[in-house]
A and B are shown apart, each in its own frame.
Chain A
């Protein structure tokens, strides 16, 4: 039952019907009681009337049955009352035309129900000791029930006719009441796919307001997410297309140049551009892997110094002139982490430091305060203070750009460290130019 309208309709219809049935049952009982009361009173009155009509003095011998019918009654309630007049010695002195010729009641006086000739009778008996007669007045219960049934019928038939009408009103009323919902649905249905505007909830009923507020909140979130997506896509397009444009232009220069030195210079630029593109591809893959939240394997004990040495060794060919110094105190620092994640983060930090260090600069890896923090510092230009909070955004490339930077390195570092529960802190060096990147590990021991 997924339609609110059907649900409400059924609930209301069932409730209304139950109340109606209850009311009908109650009025049936009441009517029946009232009718019995009135008819009993009539029996009693009729019996007394007959007794009083009988002439004073003891009743003589039977004069044979009385042939009474007095009135022509209407068809359905013809001969409702039957009357018998018995002498104390058991002779039927007289009876009305509808009355049976056997005793209608064995009781000397009062009300009783008895079965005569297969029919149930309600009988009132009255004795007159002075006259020596007993008057029995009765009516058939079947007749009484018919009377009650007719009355109830009169009540129920209009009610049954009204029920469908009532159902119709309930159905239409619910429809009207649910109108704000359907108009909300219609306005949502008619929205364009990229429509992020808020739904106007000013005129909406209070019950729907929370839904509209929640929807609007969702739309806002969606708009923010979309904008972010667009920005990232735009940056990605820029970062992917620009190196390609550079490659192509340099290739065309190499083809067009007649001067061998110029040709060679262009070819060298192509090499740099290819290296840069390759690095960008690796980083995009790493980022995609991090984003997908793939399980990179279990956590293990990682010796930080050994890991950094590995990274430095692997990166060597590209950095002949730049020097790297490793603080021996790093020895013994062991972190509990996923090795691949840790390597990804530290490698990108190292590459970053290498890229931005001047030719004769030194990249230093050291142990920070507390013994669970490591840092790497370079002698590059650092990062302008206003850009510091932005550099971990994807594709953000600040004013101090490098040839081979992709705008992804620090984003990868932050993401990978976040997955490890470690924290990255970047700041410019105070003791000279350069950037200091600090990593605080969550699970480190010495």
Chain B
């Protein structure tokens, strides 16, 4: 799950980036509206965590602008203004969720996951495809009710594929989900993760579509 954090307080930004990273998210962190705009134009995020009072403008304006432009990326507002009127305004402007400072990191992560889930158009927190079941909250995978051990990156790849079983995800898309801007991407990293996953959940569970990418086998 790729998350963009827009927050101007360096300590909080750092904590959020690390915290969401620990929860299995791929995180990009920026500290102003301008950077956030640039990030949203150049990459696709599953969720944006947006602070309202930013040094170069209001997060609310950015939200309005994105919604007006037809950008449906789920946005969780993060703010110190948590009067009911502020919350209502935030949600009515097009935010998917609203969390007041100070907050609980676990709660924030859960809200981010829920926002991502709704962004994909599903309500069920766990993803199922045949005998395969993924639980993003616990980052656990089971195959026919038997637990399967996967690494953080492997889980991210599997999650990206399991969101739309049968739909092809290109290698670049998968890399985007896995790595933030600052991270160095090894050229064959995705191939290695796919290889390992196949060893764990079955050879033909993930299909290679030559020249296009990979997909999860729709139904077994």
A residues contacting B by CB (< 8 A) are 234-235, 237-250, 252-253, 256-257, 262, 265-266, 269, 272-273, 276, 397-399, 401, 403
The residue that A245 contacts in the complex, of B18, B53, B103, with Cβ under 8 A, is B103
Assuming the contacts A253-B18, A253-B105, A266-B18, asked whether A234 and B11 have C-beta atoms less than 8 A apart, the reply is no
Evaluate contact between B81 and A244: CB separation under 8 angstroms: no
Whether B19 pairs with A256 at a CB distance below 8 angstroms is: yes
Contact of A238 among B15, B80, B106 (CB under 8 A): B80
Minimum CB–CB distance from B29 to chain A (whole Å) comes to 12
Report B-chain residues with C-beta under 8 Å of the C-beta of A247.
11, 102
With A241-B101, A245-B103: A273-B11 Cβ-Cβ less than 8 Å: yes
Query: For the complex, is B219 an interface residue (Cβ under 8 Å from A)?
Result: no
Q: Is B71 engaged at the interface, CB distance under 8 Å to the other chain?
A: no
Q: Looking at chain B's contact residues, is the secondary structure mostly helix, strand, loop, or mixed? A: mixed
List the B residue with the shortest CB-CB distance to A239. B80
Q: Is B8 an interface residue (CB 8 A)?
A: yes
Whole-angstrom CA separation of A262 from B17 in the bound complex = 12
26 contacting pairs across A/B (C-beta < 8 A):
A238-B79, A240-B80, A241-B80, A242-B12, A242-B101, A244-B101, A245-B103, A246-B9, A246-B11, A249-B19, A249-B105, A250-B15, A252-B15, A252-B19, A252-B104, A252-B106, A253-B18, A253-B105, A256-B105, A269-B15, A273-B11, A276-B11, A399-B55, A399-B56, A401-B55, A403-B11
Cross-interface CB contact of B15 among A234, A240, A246, cutoff 8 Å:
A246
| Residue from B8, B10, B16, B81 in contact with A234 in the complex, judged by beta carbons closer than 8 Å | B81
Q: Are B102 and A245 in contact (CB under 8 A)?
A: yes
The CA of A403 and the CA of B10, in the complex, are separated in Å by: 6
* Minimum CB–CB distance for B112 against chain A, Å: 13
Q: A234-B53, A242-B101, A269-B15 are in contact. List 4 more A-B contacts (CB 8 A).
A: A245-B9, A246-B9, A246-B11, A249-B103
Distance in angstroms between the alpha carbons of A70 and B8 in the assembled complex: 126
Write out the residue numbers on chain A whose beta carbons fall within 8 Å of the beta carbon of B8. Answer: 401
Interface residues of B in 71-94 (CB under 8 A from A): 79-81
CB of B14 within 8 A of chain A?
Answer: yes
Chain A residues with CB below 8 A from B103, complex form: 245, 248-249
CB neighbours of B101 from chain A (8 A): 241-242, 244-245
Most chain B CB neighbours (cut-off 10 Å) among A237, A239, A257: A237
User: In the complex the two chains form, is A242's CB within 8 Å of B105's CB?
Assistant: no
In the complex, the answer to whether A253 meets B22 with C-beta atoms within 8 Å is: yes
Smallest CB–CB gap between B204 and chain A, Å?
34
Partner of B102, one of A241, A257, A265, A397: A241
Given contacts A252-B106, A399-B55, A399-B56, whether A242 and B18 have CB atoms under 8 Å apart is: no
Min CB–CB distance A169 → chain B (angstroms):
54
Q: Measured between alpha carbons, how far is A238 from B53 in the docked complex, in Å?
A: 8
* Nearest CB in chain A: distance from B62 CB, A: 16
Closest Cβ of chain A: how far from B17's Cβ, in Å?
A: 9
In the assembled complex, the Cα of A248 lies from the Cα of B105 at a distance in Å of: 8
Flag if B104 contacts A237 (CB, 8 Å). no
| Inter-subunit contact B56/A237 (CB<8 Å) | no
* Chain B interface, number of residues (Cβ within 8 angstroms): 25
Q: Mark B14-33, 1 if CB is under 8 A from A, else 0.
A: 11101100100000000010
Q: Which residues of B (93-139) have their CB < 8 Å from a CB of A?
A: 100-106
Contact flags (1/0) for B22-64 with A, using CB distance below 8 Å?
1000000000100000000000000000000101100000000
Residue contact A238 to B18, C-beta cutoff 8 Å:
no
Note all chain A residues with C-beta closer than 8 A to B9: 242-243, 245-246
- Contact residues of A: prevailing secondary structure: helix
A276 to B140, CA, bound (A): 39
Contact B12–A246 (Cβ < 8 Å): yes
Nearest-Cβ distance from residue B81 to partner chain A, whole angstroms:
6
Which of B16, B56, B102 has the most chain A CB atoms closer than 10 A to its own CB?
Answer: B102
Measured in the bound complex, the distance between the Cα atoms of B59 and A392 in whole Å is 24
Shortest distance between the CB of A154 and any CB in chain B (Å): 77
Chain B residues whose CB sits within 8 angstroms of the CB of A265 once the complex forms: 18
Report the nearest A residue to B99, measured CB to CB: A245
Q: Please tell me if the beta carbons of B18 and A257 are within 8 angstroms of each other in the complex.
A: yes
When distances are taken between beta carbons in the complex, the residues of chain B under 8 Å from A253 are 15, 18-19, 22, 105
The closest CB in chain A to the CB of B103 belongs to A245
Contact indicator A269/B11 (Cβ below 8 Å):
yes
> Could you say which of A240, A244, A249 contacts B16, with CB atoms under 8 Å apart?
A249
CA distance A163 to B169 in the complex (A): 102
Which of chain A's residues has its CB closest to B53's CB?
A: A238
> What is the CA–CA distance of A253 and B18 in the complex, to the nearest angstrom?
7
Q: What is the CB-to-nearest-CB distance from B54 to chain A, in angstroms, rounded to a whole number?
A: 10
- Kindly identify which residue among B18, B80, B104 contacts A262, using a CB–CB cutoff of 8 Å: B18
A249 touches B12 (CB 8 A): yes
Instruction: Determine how close the nearest CB of chain B comes to the CB of A238; give it in whole angstroms.
Output: 4
Which residues on A sit within 8 Å (CB–CB) of B53?
Answer: 234-235, 238
Contacts of B80 in A (CB 8 A): 234, 237-242, 245
CB–CB B104/A248 < 8 A: yes
Contact B12 A245 (CB under 8 A): yes
State how many angstroms separate the Cβ of B87 from the closest Cβ of chain A. Answer: 14
**Set of chain A residues within 8 Å of B102, measured between Cβ atoms:** 241, 244-245, 247-249
Residue on B with the closest CB to A256? B22
The answer to whether residues A269 and B14 also contact, given A248-B102, A252-B19 and a CB cut-off of 8 A, is yes
Residue of B nearest to A269 (CB): B11
Contacts of B18 on A, CB cut-off 8 Å?
253, 257, 262, 265-266
Task: Choose from A240, A262, A398 the contact partner of B55 (Cβ within 8 Å).
Answer: A398
Q: Is the CB of A250 within 8 A of B55?
A: no
Give A269 to B32 CA distance when docked, in angstroms.
21
Q: By the criterion CB–CB under 8 Å, are B81 and A238 in contact?
A: yes
State A234–B12 Cα separation when bound (angstroms): 19
| Chain B min CB distance to A260 (Å) | 14
Residues of chain A within 8 A (CB-CB) of B14 are 250, 269
Closest CB-CB distance, B104 to chain A, in whole Å?
7
